[in-house]
Amino acid sequence: MNNAPSPLIRSTTVVAIRHNGRVVLGSDGQATIGNTIMKHHANKVRMLFNGKILSGFAGSTADAFTLFERFEEKLEQYRGQLTRSAVELAKDWRTDRYLRRLEALLAVASEDRILLISGTGDVIEPDDDILAIGSGGSFALAAARAMKIHAPDLSAKDMVTESLRIAAGICIYTNENITLLEIDAAK
């Protein structure tokens, strides 16, 4: 029996964009088990560290709650330093016997950067200030990139909303019940 984590995290779409002085992170609200929709309005995004850090997850809900909790501890320990906290969580996630079995991805954002954190030790900052994870992530990423290039006058909030709607029209694990979080990167 293969106990390796599945390479595709299903059941959601999370998108983060930094654009024109705003940082927005959003997700759909669908929660599924296998091919059954269990909930339509799940909240997969959170504000952390006194509203200065945005976070969202794709993957197992219980695993994501564990990771949110651990990430919050790292943020407190490293006084809100996003990159340092992300690297330390990724190291723990990769090496800890319990954590390394967790199947989820985290998208996190502050006023100056967006990061992907994975259980394989990855901490990745996208080149274009756009990040999308989950089963609908590639669809949302393509849509967000197109909007940022061809419709730069749109707000970050509109770009995240529309990219999630486009993903929901393609990905069966994504719906149009969207939750958005926003911070002002221009402060």
pLDDT digits (tens, 9 = 90+) for 89-147: 999 888 877 777 777 889 999 999 999 998 888 999 999 999 999 999 999 999 999 99
Count CA within 13 A, CB hemisphere, residue 96: 13
Cut 0.85: pTM above it: yes
Handedness of CA 138, 139, 140, 142 (dihedral sign): positive
Q: Where are the domains of the chain?
A: 13-184
Number of H helices, E strands in the chain: 4, 11
CA distance 49 to 27: 20
pLDDT higher than threshold 60 for residue 3: no
Q: Which residues are catalytic?
A: 12
* Of 104 and 23, the one with more pLDDT: 23
What class has domain 13-184? alpha beta
DSSP string, 61-98: HHHHHHHHHHHHHHHHHTTT-HHHHHHHHHHHHHH-TT
What does the pLDDT read at residue 127? Answer: 96
Token readout for 50 is 């006194």
Given a contact cutoff of 8 angstroms between Cβ atoms, the answer to whether 46 and 95 are in contact is no
